[in-house]
Amino acid sequence: MNFREEFKLLLRARYPLIYIPTYEEERVEAAIREEATNQGNRPVYTWDFVDGYQGNPNDVGFGRRNPLQALEFIEKLPASAPAVLILRDYHRFLDDVAIARKLRNLSRLLKSQPKNIVLLSPRIAIPDDLTEVLTVVEFPLPAAPEIKTEIDRLLQSTGNSLSGKVLDDLVLSCQGLSMERIHRVLAKAIATHGELQPEDVDLILEEKRQTIRQTQILDFYPATEQISDIGGLDNLKDWLIRRGGSFTDRARQYGLPHPRGLMLVGIQGTGKSLTAKAIAHHWHLPLLRLDVGRLFGGLVGESESRTRQMIQVAEALAPCILWIDEIDKAFAGLGSKGDAGTASRVFGTFINWLAEKSSPVFVVATANDIQALPPEMLRKGRFDEIFFVGLPTQEERKAIYDVHLSRLRPHNLKSYDIERLAYETPDFSGAEIEQTLIEAMHIGFSQNRDFATDDILEAASQIIPLARTAVEQIQQLQEWAAAGRARLASKHNPLSERLRRTT
């Protein structure tokens, strides 16, 4: 059910108090007026703290700077007269005992009258004593048909036209922006060169990055890494490559559902985050990075509101990749957190969305400590697959050295003994291998020469890998994966060489 259908139903069912969290006042008010007109030409009155009531010449300015008087105005209207009353930014006054009591009284009164009070707010902030009388209705960001209509209107006003492919690209790039931002960025494009052009997609993408940054929840992450930058992990790479075209119309016509997501579990520094970036680049999809810690706010209801905002933005940008790094740290020990159940509610909202979402948002979650995750997170249906990313084998270490050295010294690659380097660095993760190369470069640079194989080996001898400092934790992870609880990301993924030697 979309917003208009739900709002129309609430009007007909005489829901007295409706709460709509949105930043798009102008757009939502236009939708409300249209539905009020369809419901027997209901009058619409709007109130804000500065200007008071608007919409009726006899009451212009009534209730100015007086939110309680704004509610008393409703009782002045004839009982049988239908009306929709829009109160802007009214969430700021809900903690006042007089306001809360008046709203609850009106909730009882308006059940028998054809009137509806609509509270508009940029976020959800509902006190506990009003949760039973307020009905929250989500107002989504503009969908592709609405954006296309607006772009067509602008094209007609400027007298130029675009090919179907360019128009579709513009519409896709605008998804995830509010209509106000779409108007601004398109006006900027027209002001720049007098018309809309294919190159304006870059302007729109920059506006989208700005919008996502302002949410302070999601980051628009540039993805330049490629699948070929991942050393080893052949099973995982095959799985990803096989699904490369799963977001296309051809896949829908074939009957394939959108891929849901992937959880990567394993030892730190083994390429889980690199894989998330490579997926976005290989599938040509935008990459959004979620820091789960940013979902939690200090105000009552703020965390749940931020979670819904994150979901709304991600779905509006779909198809996209949503990367959640170290999800185990965010939801570890839910039952023991002294936050009045906020973390549990955020977690519940999030996993319900994972299970029920129909939008093409591919979620890539990474975790180092699988034991810290609630069992519900691992249930089938949340993710398409759970892969275990272990320490690289000798062959995979060769591939990792080859990837890094091909990037650092492509002209001199054959001078390095990659076979020996892989053999001499057992239990090293990909991140630790990269660190040996950085340290070797420092050695060579300090002596005014290029670094060599011996420098890399010297650097490796000075690094103590995590596999030797966290043996118990790593062994637990390996045993968890060996019990068949996850697919192995590597075609050959035995216990690390050091662990095998000590057992």
| Cα separation, 26 vs 474, whole angstroms | 55
Give the pair of three-digit tokens for residue 397.
Answer: 């270490």
* CATH code for residues 394-426+430-464: 1.10.8
Q: What are the structure tokens assigned to 130, written together?
A: 């009003």
Q: What is the pLDDT of residue 14?
A: 93
Q: How far apart are CA 129 and CA 98, in angstroms?
A: 12
Taking residues 72-101, report their average pLDDT.
94
Q: Where do the structural domains in the chain lie, given as residue ranges?
A: 3-136, 144-214, 227-389, 394-426+430-464
Judged against a pLDDT cut of 60, whether residue 503 lies above it is answered with: no
Stronger pLDDT, 346 or 92, i.e. the higher one: 92
Quote the CA–CA distance of 14 and 10 in Å, as a whole number: 6
Instruction: Categorize the per-residue pLDDT at 492 as very low, low, confident or very high, splitting at 50, 70 and 90.
Output: low
The answer to whether the Cα torsion of 403, 269, 232, 282 is positive or negative is negative
Task: Please give the pLDDT value at position 495.
Answer: 46
pLDDT for 499 equals 42
With pLDDT > 70 as the criterion, what percentage of the chain qualifies? 95
Q: How far is CA 381 from CA 345, 351, 490, in A?
A: 20, 10, 23
Run of H or E residues at 179 = helix 179-193
Tens of pLDDT, residues 360-408: 899 999 988 877 788 888 877 789 999 998 888 899 899 999 999 999 9
104-118 pLDDT, tens digit per residue, is: 999 999 999 999 999
Phi, psi (degrees; rounded to nearest 5) at 462: -95, -10
Task: Enumerate the β-bridge partners of residue 59.
Answer: none
pLDDT for 292 equals 81
Does residue 299 or residue 12 have the better pLDDT? 12
Token pair, residue 199, equals: 């190159």
What's the pLDDT tens digit per position in 122-152?
A: 888 899 899 999 999 999 888 888 898 988 8
**434 closest CA partner among 241, 218, 192, 268:** 268
Residues 179 and 150: their CA atoms lie apart, in Å, by 9
Reported as a pLDDT band with limits 50, 70 and 90, residue 340 is low
pTM of the full structure: 0.69
Tell me which of 31-35, 295-299, 473-477 is least confident.
295-299
Angle at 429 between CA 260 and CA 269, to 5 degrees: 45
Q: How far apart are CA 165 and CA 188, in angstroms?
A: 21
Query: What is the C-alpha to C-alpha distance for residues 208 and 188, in angstroms, rounded to an integer?
Result: 14
Over 90: is that where the pLDDT of 453 sits? yes
Q: How is residue 490 annotated by DSSP?
A: S
Summarised one tens digit per residue, pLDDT across range 145-183 is: 889 898 888 888 877 777 777 788 788 778 878 898 888
Residue 145, CA distances (Å) to 174, 175, 320, 449 in order: 11, 10, 19, 60
DSSP for 87-134, written as a single string: EETGGGGTTSHHHHHHHHHHHHHGGGSSEEEEEEESS----GGGTTT-
Residue 79 CB contacts under 8 Å (≥ 6 apart), including other chains: 112, 113
Architecture of domain 227-389: 3-Layer(aba) Sandwich (3.40)
The two most distant CA atoms of the chain are separated, in Å, by: 91
The pLDDT confidence band at residue 483, using thresholds 50, 70 and 90, is confident
CA distance 476 to 480: 6
pLDDT on residue 298:
56
- Looking at residue 141, the DSSP 8-state letter turns out to be P
Examine residue 319 and say whether the peptide bond preceding it is cis (omega within 30 degrees of 0).
Answer: yes
| Residue count of the chain | 503
Q: CATH number of the domain at 3-136, please?
A: 3.40.50.300
Position 339 scores a pLDDT of 54
Give the CA angle between residues 350, 130, 35 to the nearest 5°. 80
Residue 279 half-sphere exposure, CB side, CA atoms within 13 Å? 33
| pLDDT tens-digit readout, 233-279 | 889 999 999 988 888 778 888 998 889 999 999 888 888 888 988 99
In angstroms, the CA 186 to CA 133 distance is 41
Q: For residue 69, is pLDDT > 90?
A: yes
Tokens of 59: 């009451």
d(CA 357, CA 196): 34
**Predicted confidence band at 224 (pLDDT cuts at 50, 70, 90)?**
confident
Is there a common fold for 227-389 and 394-426+430-464?
A: no
**Gap between the Cα atoms of 306 and 316, Å rounded:** 15
The tokens for 276 are 């998330």
Report the C-alpha gap between 364 and 273 in whole angstroms.
Answer: 9
Residue pair 327/373 in contact by the 8 Å Cβ criterion? yes
